[in-house]
Amino acid sequence: MLIVVGSDHGGWELKEFLKTYLQSQSYSVEDLGCYNSTSVDYPDFAHQLVQHILNHKSEKGILICGTGIGMSISANRYPGIRAALCSEPMSARLSRQHNDSNVLVLGGRTIGKELAREIVKVWLATTFSGGRHARRLEKIDSVKDIKKTKI
Ligand code: RB5
């Protein structure tokens, strides 16, 4: 499986660590940057990564910034993107089972490397449960129609 990864300077170090981990687990990794600790703007990387997922170049992506918050806000602007900011493995597991998250977001300045690796491991190993959760996901994307309705 191809995993696309992206970060800003606040997530760069963790991205490098996780890239090595993913490759050691035989995943192919496409790294969209950034490539060093020079200050950059997180939305640029979130927008790029989202395009990869929406164009089916990759099924899953990982975004990392300092807190993970800016990346989450940016990625979740796109219908069809379900970006989950996780700081522990249980949320990562449930974000796959219940929300079919296709982007995992991490905070490079808020969690340690070992914990991040555990979160990634669980996230990649867990499948979507479907059923009632699929109905709920359809309702998330129906926001387009709701927005058009005058109240
Ligand atoms: C960059 O300093 C920082 O704002 C960014 O990494 C992220 O935490 C934003 O949400």
Q: What domains does the chain contain, in order, with CATH numbers?
A: 2-141 (3.40.1400.10)
Query: What amino acid is encoded at 45 in this protein?
Result: F
- The residues assigned a catalytic role are 65, 98
Q: What pLDDT does 146 receive? A: 66
Amino acid code (one letter) for 89: P
Predicted local distance difference test score (pLDDT) of residue 45? 98
Question: Among the atoms of ligand 1, which is closest to the Cα of residue 69?
Answer: 10
DSSP 150: -
**pLDDT of res. 142:** 86
Q: What is the pLDDT of residue 141?
A: 83
Strand partners, 107: 65
pLDDT in tens, 101-142: 999 999 999 999 999 999 999 999 999 999 999 999 999 988
* Whether 81 contacts 23, CB under 8 Å: no
Of 71, 85, 106, 110, best ligand 1 pocket probe by most atoms within 8 Å of the beta carbon? 71
Q: What pLDDT does 20 receive? A: 98
Q: Do the Cβ atoms of 107 and 125 come closer than 8 Å?
A: no
**8 Å CB contact between 67 and 92:** no
Which segments of the chain have a pLDDT < 50?
Answer: none
